[in-house]
Structure 1
Amino acid sequence: MPTRDESREETIEILSIVPTQGPAGIIAPSCTAAISLAVDEINSGTGILGREIRLTTIDGGRSPYAVAAEVEAFLATGMVGAITGWHTSAVRRAVADAVGGRVPYLYATDHEGLPDERPGVLLVGEHPDHQTVPAVAWLRRELGVRRWAVIGNDYIWPRQTVHALRRALPSPADIVAEQYVPLGTTDFRAFLDSPALLRADAVLILLVGADTARFNRQFTAAGLATAMARLSPAVDENVLLSAGPGANTDLYVASSFFVDEHTADGRARRARYRRHQGEFAPALTTFSNSTYEAMHLLRTLADTVGTLDVPTITAHLSSGVVLDGPSTRRGFLGNQAVGPAYLAKADGVFFDIIEQLP
């Protein structure tokens, strides 16, 4: 594994897994641009462990097996120092098996918080207990939401998130409707026409990318947007824009990675992004900001520990290391990065941050 003593002339190869196809493909341009900014900022300084980053992007929108096979091929060269990116948990699980703890793997997407992650998998996105569950509690307290309907894609993250929510609700019966659909679903009539939906006060959306945008358009067209609130931990500005401002009424989103224009840090980051990418660049969104943060967190972690060796990193994390990220300090609970999470309400194709979640 690379250490601080390596020569500056050498580079560190980092794999960035971002979907360029499928329903999550709409976030790829933003994520790629944000990662590029982070890499240039790091390389303009001391790099990682005194070495320049060289970035290779892998399409995470394919089947988990296909993505894992490509990662395995890169790892076989012995040149890969770390992995990061935004992609589904199904892809993460397959890639983590292929990596087998050989390099650190900073996963920049919300996750389900399972206890059996492979060594070296560091979860930068949020656990549902730190994000979705407190957001649900806020809607109960502030809006009187008691009963929930759930629509999600059919893979590990949505199902495990609902398990976490069911444990936290006053009664499991508070989930009155629950449906899981394949990635890439275009027709949500079976859910929208369900009589059980009318018993709900709000809908929890656990869909990915373009699937969420399509659902929100159909939900609004069915006349439901004014009848019940919606909550999602997986919506960014690209999803809002794809759905259209008229489809985002009464939509709440929980995230740790909003780029807040009302703060000096948020304004400065957007300004740096525009200078780096140009005025016509894809938006700097909550999803792309999480990949930007993950790249900087990797640098801070490596420089704090002095190596990218996974056992050494794991030992430091268990001792309670706290890292200074670009916008906030992040500690770790095991392999889970912990920082502040916020609740926002969609305002057209933007977000209005309304609360810091406990």
Structure 2
Amino acid sequence: MPTFDECRAETIDIVSIVPTQGPCGILAPSCTAATSLAVDEINSGAGILGREIRVTTIDGGRPPHEVATEVEALMATGMIGAITGWHTTPVRRAVARAVGGRVPYLYATDHEGLTDERPGVLMVGEHPGRQTVPAAAWMARELGVRRWAVIGNDYIWPRHTTDALRRSLGSPADIVVERYVPLGTTDFGDFLDDPALLFADAVLILMIGADTARFNRQFSAAGLPDLLPRLSPAVDENILLSAGLSANKNLYVASSFFIDDSTPDGRDRRGRYRAHQGRFAPALTTFGNATYEAIHLLGALADTVGTLDVATLTTNLATGVTVDGPVTRRGFLGNQAVGPAFLAEANGVDFDIIDRLS
């Protein structure tokens, strides 16, 4: 039987944090299945730094301090080589404090673009200036949108994203409604009945998971899709399915990750996913793809720099690192992954990509 140290030398253990409960619990099966595909692809090759990788998935839908406590316990074993996942900002901030820069932490969710992230926290998702703000500018240019109504969950990412939109607009008064609701909200009547909504040209949705699906169903039931286009940077195919066909009309989504069957890469990735997971697997979605890319980016970054040591990675990332691999992200500049961002329109329970965002 191999010793503890021999196990460490032969494998790299990765913690994947995805919510299995709460509003984002509907995303977990897709994220976990896509991560499994990435692990199999990497291990069927040379691994990461010549070592096999193993992934332990933990529930990121719990209160942040509970997630951080479990991560801290896993870190105490000395066996954890990296962390990835799709989860909320409060979870990321709590986990980053617990990790303390000891291992790289690839965060696969859109974020706020804050400058106080701890060493080793690498942003695979986009910040508002590269995604939501350009998407809003596209809607102003193409659809004549000037005034916005904002509905968001009540935590740091929606509030900072709204602030970024406000700074980009001609006047702060161009946000005519701004409301934040707790995670797990089921009734959006106060927002939908607000008379100020009549002065908006579009709605920015900064909620996550099932909250967005519930909002879109109520928005549709109120007869508003024909009057007000909606924009969100946090919708995937699971959310479209949960909301239903009629709730997705006139809905635009900004993302760095879309599985586009019209391209050879998209068809190939979906084909590999189905071959790996089987015909009854969860759909390969935008958010699942983000967790898939985070694992591959970790491998590409480690093999490019030659280590997972956070201090060495940080030194190299400061001047920019280009990576190669089966991903749309082509490298890092500082702690931000670099790659394209796109705007799509919901088409039933799928997406039609309509433009690339600059």
Q: TM-score, normalised by structure 2?
A: 0.97
Distance 2:174 2:222 in 1: 23
The range that moved more, 7-16 or 195-204, is 7-16
Matches within 5 A, 1:319-358: 319-358=319-358
1:3 — aligned with what? none
Shift of 1:197: 0.9
Q: Is the 8 A contact 1:31 1:289 kept in 2?
A: yes
2:12 — aligned with what? 12
Give the secondary structure class of the aligned counterpart of 1:177: strand
Q: Is the 8 A contact 1:8 1:51 kept in 2?
A: no
Count of residue pairs the alignment pairs up = 353
2:258 — aligned with what? 258
Q: Is the 8 A contact 2:319 2:333 kept in 1?
A: no
Shift of 1:320: 1.6
2:103 — aligned with what? 103
Matches within 5 A, 1:115-194: 115-194=115-194
Shift of 1:170: 1.1
Shift of 1:330: 2.0
Shift of 1:267: 0.1
Change (3 A) 1:71 1:86: same
Residue identity opposite 1:274 in structure 2: R
Identity %: 78
Distance 1:104 1:42 in 2: 18
Shift of 1:323: 1.3
Give the secondary structure class of the aligned counterpart of 1:23: coil
1:230 — aligned with what? 230
The range that moved more, 326-335 or 278-287, is 326-335
Residue identity opposite 2:356 in structure 1: Q
C-alpha deviations, 1:131-166, integer Å up to 9, x for none? 000000000000000000000000010001011111
Q: Is the 8 A contact 2:63 2:91 kept in 1?
A: yes
Change (3 A) 1:13 1:251: same
Q: TM-score, normalised by structure 1?
A: 0.97
Shift of 1:9: 6.7
Q: Is the 8 A contact 1:293 1:325 kept in 2?
A: no
Distance 1:230 1:277 in 2: 33
C-alpha deviations, 1:116-143, integer Å up to 9, x for none? 0000000000010000000000000000
C-alpha deviations, 1:222-278, integer Å up to 9, x for none? 111111000000000000000001100000000011011000000000000000000
Give the secondary structure class of the aligned counterpart of 1:145: coil
Residue identity opposite 2:115 in structure 1: P
What are structure 1's unaligned runs of at least 5 residues? 1-5
Matches within 5 A, 1:33-44: 33-44=33-44
Q: Is the 8 A contact 2:186 2:211 kept in 1?
A: yes
Q: Is the 8 A contact 1:8 1:52 kept in 2?
A: no
Shift of 1:329: 4.8
Give the secondary structure class of the aligned counterpart of 2:330: strand
Q: Is the 8 A contact 1:322 1:329 kept in 2?
A: no
Shift of 1:7: 8.9
Residue identity opposite 2:95 in structure 1: V
C-alpha deviations, 1:195-245, integer Å up to 9, x for none? 111110000000010000000000000111111000000000000000001
Residue identity opposite 1:312 in structure 2: T
Shift of 1:328: 3.0
Change (3 A) 1:75 1:238: same
Residue identity opposite 2:85 in structure 1: G
1:83 — aligned with what? 83
Shift of 1:16: 0.2
Shift of 1:322: 1.1
Q: Is the 8 A contact 2:14 2:54 kept in 1?
A: yes
Change (3 A) 1:356 1:35: same
Asked whether 1:67 is paired with 2:67, we answer yes
The range that moved more, 54-63 or 316-325, is 316-325
Distance 2:329 2:178 in 1: 36
Across the aligned residues of Structure 1 and Structure 2, the Cα RMSD in angstroms comes to: 1.1
Distance 2:96 2:309 in 1: 16
Distance 2:296 2:69 in 1: 27
Distance 1:28 1:329 in 2: 22
Residue identity opposite 1:153 in structure 2: N
Residue identity opposite 2:199 in structure 1: R
C-alpha deviations, 1:272-331, integer Å up to 9, x for none? 000000001000000000100110000000111111100000011112211124133523
Change (3 A) 1:308 1:327: closer
Q: Is the 8 A contact 2:86 2:291 kept in 1?
A: yes
Shift of 1:8: 9.7
Distance 2:115 2:333 in 1: 12
What are structure 2's unaligned runs of at least 5 residues? 1-5
2:92 — aligned with what? 92
Residue identity opposite 2:200 in structure 1: A
Q: Is the 8 A contact 1:111 1:125 kept in 2?
A: yes
Q: Is the 8 A contact 2:319 2:334 kept in 1?
A: no
Distance 1:203 1:66 in 2: 34
Q: Is the 8 A contact 2:48 2:302 kept in 1?
A: yes
Give the secondary structure class of the aligned counterpart of 1:307: coil
Give the secondary structure class of the aligned counterpart of 1:299: helix
Distance 2:256 2:38 in 1: 18
Distance 1:122 1:219 in 2: 35
2:3 — aligned with what? none
2:273 — aligned with what? 273
1:299 — aligned with what? 299
